[in-house]
Structure 1
Amino acid sequence: MKRLLVSAALTMAVLISTGCQTLPPPEGRELRGTGDLGLIIERATGSVLVVDHSEHAVLGRVEGLGDLSHASVVYSRDARYGYVFGRDGGLTRVDLLTRQVTDRIIQSGNSIGGAISQNGRYVAVSNYEPGGVNIFDSSTLDLVAEIPAIYTNAQGEQGQSKTVGLVDAPGNQFVFSLFDAGEIWTVDMHRHPPGVERYPAGKEPYDALITPDGRYYIAGLFGEDGLSMMDLWAPEQGARTILPGYGKGEQRLPVYKMPHLEGWAIADGYAFVPAVGRHEVLVADMEDWRMVQRIPVQGQPVFVMASPDNRQIWVSFAHPLNDVVQVIDSRTREVIRTLEPGKSVLHMEFTPRGEEVWVSSRDSNRVTVYSTRTLEPVATLPAQKPSGIFFTNRAHQLGL
């Protein structure tokens, strides 16, 4: 006990001698961190829920975020602020602790997502109308750069392309694809003005991802079977096609919803990829990017996501078979469970260490939390037409 008292006295003496002091929390407000918080998009009401995934709790609702029919979120480096990208071109900065909108701008006519730079200073938004990428100061939302996606088509005419697959990359870069032009562009934010480089890609890239180490940028191609991959360590080599012709000779099904590549599954040296217009998950060997297996699933996959320990692959589906989620064992590559979280499953998000996964069911107005150990539900939370779920650990991951 004497030692404890002496230790406490010494600690207080150090604080006093260095000019530091302990302060009580602000009146009426509890001090807390943001590491177990997140935002859930309520797509029909222009609102987001602030949630605590440790307690399975909704802490509050933030309203006035516009059209969230296709919305996503990135986080500041301190994981206090979420930047919400809305379909109406809105960019909204939300304070998770005060649960308030701090800034909001309308920066285009139609946007589909965004990214925050490696150093946290810039937020970039990918736009359909007008096509291009706008870059903003993350503290003030002041415009830093406009990058219109101008290209020349085969007839020699100039056009402005929709931009898709925007991610952050090492070296304080942004990378994105031009759907109409079939190109991949990189933006170096260390240069003033930002340096833009252009590279040819495959036909009609519709979405993209960056591998967890930040080396490979991979764009899915709607206009042809295959994916376009660029090595960001050697961008001068350009993009090359991987998994070419995976559907050659087969009848293609109507595509009800384009797969999302962000968050796709990479486990044990293999990539698990949603096949466009097919009831399959493709497995590619990342050593040479050849296809090694097709895993049959119950519908057209939209999200194919690996648990943080890479033991499981969780798959959601497009309409009309979108009321279920299937779980694949990454070792056996077989479906081990089919779950029914509710009507119109739209998104999934693993907790940072992977003990649970949260699943949104738009038409059931709820989010279901599953244990990844038992594959049983452990909690449900009410939500108004929920879609995207975004936890703050994304603040410390590339490309999310």
Structure 2
Amino acid sequence: MSLSFPLKRLLATAGLALLVAAPVSAETSAPAAELRGTGDLGVVVERASGSVALVDTTRREVLRHVEGFGDLSHASVKFSRDARYAFVFGRDGGLTKLDLLTGEIAGRVIQSGNSIGGAISQDGRFVAVGNYEPGGVKVFDTETLELVVDVPADYEKADGTIAQAKVVGVVDAPGNRFVFSLFEAGEIWTLDMSGDEPVLDKHRDVGREPYDALITGNGRYYIAGLFGEDGMALLDLWHPENGVQRILPDYGRGEERLPVYKMPHLEGWAMAGDLAFFPAVGRHEVLVADSDDWSLVGRIPVQGQPIFVMSRPDERQVWVTFAHPDNGQVQVIDTQTLEVIQTLEPGESILHKEFTPRGEHIWISARDSDQVVVYDTRTFEELARLPAESPSGIFFTHRAHQIGL
């Protein structure tokens, strides 16, 4: 791999809110200025138009629409340490830096042919991007977007030839590390950026086709879902010398797997006390595991193939979205009874959801209805419908202060 570092160390950004554009309608071109904190802000990806909607989560309104982000057909967002900037990862390989206070693009680079997401380092200095085409990870300076490290995802195929794997499941970990998985190679790599030179560590033969991954909230366990077989691969980052452990093996033994219409996402997984909730690949089930030993302790029947299984911040509920053809509904699971207690129909083609920082509200994107729908999570009352062009991912700034988000 080729490695390069800036000549000087960068100052980590930190601070409070500065100047921001006031809420404006789509027809207003020159907003007045006002002071604003970033804690109320969020970004909604508008996948069809290559734009994002900058939103206020307390006022439940769209502040403005910002264009110029390229192909957002499968986009994700991370936030800078001070929660002023959003880094948008586009499917066209674009990495775009958005200033949330001015509503303007502060930088943009096309760094690959096809990227799938990334992460911000613990100290806020680096942004890592995982790439499909060509496979690999590139690390950039968050202030300047200059390339710092280029890590090709090279692996040896069964016939002895060298190929590059798609990189998935890029997360940040304590100690200024990045962790990610190689789809075709069946490997998990860690990239340590804490020293003067990057250190790369590889764990091989973790399972067939890791397709996505998560890291626990305390930053200890990295868990990759496996598409090529039942089960998951777990790396204990406190004890990486112990290698990768297989968990939930053969959870579908003796059952016929259904056609998979959309890959489930593990980021945003659900925890409730000692229980962990996962989407089952190719099944109409949410799996429940004991986080002490990662054994399977339950299965919750749901109406479709789950995509996002996310816990309300107080861990009292788990909200589930589904693949086609059941993607017009959302189901809510009670984490004490492990039963579905509510089914909602926010609109057509539900793609993503995000809780407000303390969980009193949830925002849900209905792509084919061109709306973001806001619910009260206690009463299930609909609170607002906001206009957005083919909305998909919803990301609020509290993620800036959470490991793996």
TM-score by length of 2: 0.92
Bigger radius of gyration among the two: 1
Partner of 2:167: 163
- 1:298 partner amino acid: Q
Query: Equivalent residue for 1:237?
Result: 242
TM superposition shift of 1:25: 9.9
Match of 1:373 in 2: 378
Say whether 1:348 aligns with 2:353.
yes
- 5+ residue gaps, structure 1, are 1-22
Aligned length: 378
> Which residue of structure 2 aligns with residue 53 of structure 1?
57
1:304 and 2:309 matched: yes
- 1:272 is aligned to 277
Instruction: Indicate whether 1:174 and 2:164 are aligned.
Output: no
Once the 2 structures are TM-superposed, how far is the Cα of residue 196 of structure 1 from its aligned partner?
Answer: 0.3
Show the counterpart of 2:145: 141
Three-state SS of the structure 2 residue aligned to 1:393 is helix
Where 1:125 maps in the other structure, the secondary structure is strand
- The equivalent position to 1:79 in structure 2, one of 67, 80, 83, is 83
Match of 1:287 in 2: 292
Identity %: 67
- Does residue 325 (structure 1) correspond to residue 330 (structure 2)? The answer is yes
State the alpha-carbon separation in 2 of the partners of residues 76 and 288 from structure 1: 34
Structure 1 residue matching 2:33: 3-state secondary structure? coil
Q: 1:24 to 1:249 in 2, by over 3 A?
A: closer
Residue in structure 2 matching 1:258, options 255, 263, 270? 263
Equivalents in 2 of 1:135, 1:332: separation in Å?
44
The residue that corresponds to 1:246 in the other structure is 251
Shift of 1:28: 4.5
SS at match of 1:308: coil
- Tell me how far apart the structure 2 counterparts of residues 339 and 326 of structure 1 sit (CA, whole Å): 6
Within-5 A mapping of 1:95-106: 95-106=99-110
Q: What is the DSSP-based 3-state SS (H/G/I as helix, E as strand, rest coil) of the residue aligned with 1:30?
A: strand
Q: Which runs of 5+ in 2 are unaligned?
A: 1-17, 22-30
Contact 2:184 2:209 in 1 (8 A): yes
Provide closer, same or farther for how the CA distance between residues 376 and 237 of structure 1 changes in structure 2, counting only shifts above 3 A: same
Separation of aligned partners in 2, 1:311 and 1:331: 7
1:381 maps to amino acid: L
Q: 2:93 aligns with which of 66, 82, 89?
A: 89
Query: Hey, what does 2:223 align to over in structure 1?
Result: 218
User: Which residue of 99, 105, 108 corresponds with 2:112?
Assistant: 108
Q: How much has 1:99 moved relative to structure 2? A: 0.4
Q: Which has the higher helix share?
A: 1
Aligned to 1:11: none
The separation in 2 between residues aligned to 1:95 and 1:258, in whole angstroms, is 31
The Cα RMSD (Å) is 1.4
2:189 match: 185
Give 1:190 shift: 1.4
Residue equivalent to 2:394? 389
CA distance in 1, matches of 2:303, 2:247: 25
Distance of 1:386 and 1:172 partners within structure 2: 32
Match in the other structure for 2:15: none
Alpha-carbon distance between aligned partners in 2 of 1:264 and 1:45, rounded to the nearest angstrom: 28
For 2:304, give the aligned amino acid: G
